[in-house]
Chains A and B, each alone.
Chain A
Amino acid sequence: MKFLKLILKNAFRHKVRATLTIIGIAVAVTAFGVLRTVVTAWYVGVDAAASNRLITRQAISFIFPLPYAYKEKIAAVPGIEAISFMNWFGGVYLDKKNFFARMAVDAETAFDVYPEFLIAPDQLATFKAERNACVIGAELAKQYNLKIGDPMSLDGDIYPGRWDFVIRGIYTPKFDNTDATQMFFQWNYLNERILQDMPQRANDVGWYVTRITNPDDAATISSQIDELFMNSSAETKSETEGEFTRGFISASGAILGAMNFMSFTIVAIIMLVLANTMMMSARERTREYAILKTLGFSVPQISWLILGESLVLSILGGALGLLLTAPLVKGFAAAVPKGWFPVFKIEPITMALLIAAVIFIGLASAIFPIRRAASTSIVDGMRFMG
């Protein structure tokens, strides 16, 4: 700490170079933070997935339906506590770019398998009782300024026509990463209309959701379910909710992979920038380090001077970068269509990664200058003309 003054003076000896380096680090840290936030936002569904929930879908693709008749058979498999089912409705709310999940769910059981969607008992009761009732997430209510009693209409695409609902419940998220941007309405309501308009598509279920007693049995129960419908016209594929969600994401996997790779490439590049700055400084100060050695500074003490300088630059750059990341992430969240990312914020893990990266960069950049200073003898250092 006695060296702090000298370290700070050294770090800012070349004001322009130090400033550019700090800005470089800040920009990289910001890019890293935003990229990581996008990646984690994408995976938030996987992280939020309950390990005691299974999804059973059509084996070929989840876009093909399963018969309603499977419900009782699946429910009979040992280890299953609760079963529900839902259909992806799709459709348009007001404008095509308003993106959020709209699902036809089994009103009787939906909130049993999703205990993290918190809903008041009286609202749930009304939802179950009224055919055209719907429940929306608190986040969605906030975004579109909706409240209980408001009408809500969808233009169907998978299920054509105009669909009118009344909001009878607003659920709140139990956890930070719980998706509070969904809209649920009664599967019965959907099915009744389909029965009239397109009878051949009636009694179709998008997928089944089951809650199991013991997460460790997930694999066994999944294969037991799938065996039930082996060789039928609609074979099933059961998996944990996490695997199911991951399946959705893998469609965008290449992009995510690229983002992941980029975020770490940025760290590597910026390390080279700082390492270069530090190397230049150390080279210019070859003679000075020799002088300090004649004054009695030991190699470890000189190493601290160099390491300190490197850390000062990386930490200042990192701090500036962190300050810039927060508003940028906010701006980014505002720029992407609402509902694209149910949860979009800087996660603690992103913060931790950022801080670790900054310190790592500071440490790594000091290695070569320290080695150079240590291996240059005083006599050679004094004769050095840089």
Chain B
Amino acid sequence: MPHLIEIKALAKSYWRDGFEIPVLNNININVEKGDYLALMGPSGSGKSTLLNLIAGIDRPSKGEVVVDGTNIAKLGESELARWRANNIGFIFQFYNLIPVLTAYDNVGLPLLLTKLGKAEQKKHIETALSIVGLGDRMKHYPKQLSGGQEQRVAIARAIVTDPQILVADEPTGDLDRNSAEEILTLMKRLNEEFGKTIIMVTHDPHAAESAKKTLNLEKGDLIGSSK
């Protein structure tokens, strides 16, 4: 069976003031459908950069990222945007909800890009919010929610279009223990119950434990994995 995500000889450098800053050197990873991967490593090791490349929000300098048979580096800007909308759910450390929209409307944002009618949108949004346990907070604005609740709204937004891949960049990094635990439980459920393939960047070994596999990154190189 082909891999869901194939990362081949991936390298990434940034250019600042004429200097090349190598961030990722020669990364090769295969991710299977249904995997739950934790990505660990010191600050500045390139974890976010790798995650962004997989999610198609940044472009590799060398190598390929093939997702479900599509080499996403070859897609044009608009195609890539559409690809992201259909295949990727993104969860950030700082939730990144739109402050002027209610939880309901924030979750509904990705659906604005689909052809779904109002009623169908409503069904999707309510389902997503009930999965994250916030069916009763739909009318709340982000600032009326706790950090953990905001992150759950963000997760609902990530899953509302039912993408097969979720990427999360330190989703518990800004939360207290209890809230972090709730988020990890939720992510695990999304992986096990809903079959989402998840790649999560984290600093927290405890968080990494809830994943099925952990990859370690150091100075742009993979230095091994553990189950």
Contacts and interface: CB of A to CB of B under 8 A. Distances in A.
Contacts of B58: 377-379
A9 B100 contact: yes
Contacts of A9: 98, 100-101
A129 interface: no
Nearest to B84: A296
Given A3-B112, A6-B101, A294 B77 contact: no
A296 B96 contact: no
Contact of B85 (A287, A295, A299): A295
Interface in A295-338: 295-301
B113 interface: yes
Contacts of A298: 77-78, 81-82
Nearest to A285: B98
Contact of B110 (A6, A296, A299): A296
Interface residues of B, number: 25
A10 B110 CA distance: 17
Contact of B109 (A10, A287, A292): A292
Nearest to B112: A2
A301 B52 CA distance: 21
B47 interface: no
A10 B78 CA distance: 24
A128 interface: no
A30 B37 CA distance: 62
Interface in A273-300: 287-288, 291-300
B86 interface: yes
Kindly list the 7 A-B residue pairs having the minimum CB-CB distance in the complex, ordered from nearest.
A296-B85, A9-B100, A298-B81, A378-B57, A291-B96, A296-B84, A298-B78
Interface of A: 2-3, 5-6, 9-10, 13, 287-288, 291-301, 377-379, 382
26 contacts: A2-B112, A3-B112, A5-B105, A6-B98, A6-B101, A6-B105, A287-B96, A288-B98, A291-B96, A294-B55, A294-B84, A294-B88, A295-B90, A295-B109, A296-B85, A296-B86, A296-B113, A297-B81, A297-B113, A298-B78, A298-B81, A299-B77, A299-B81, A378-B52, A379-B57, A379-B58
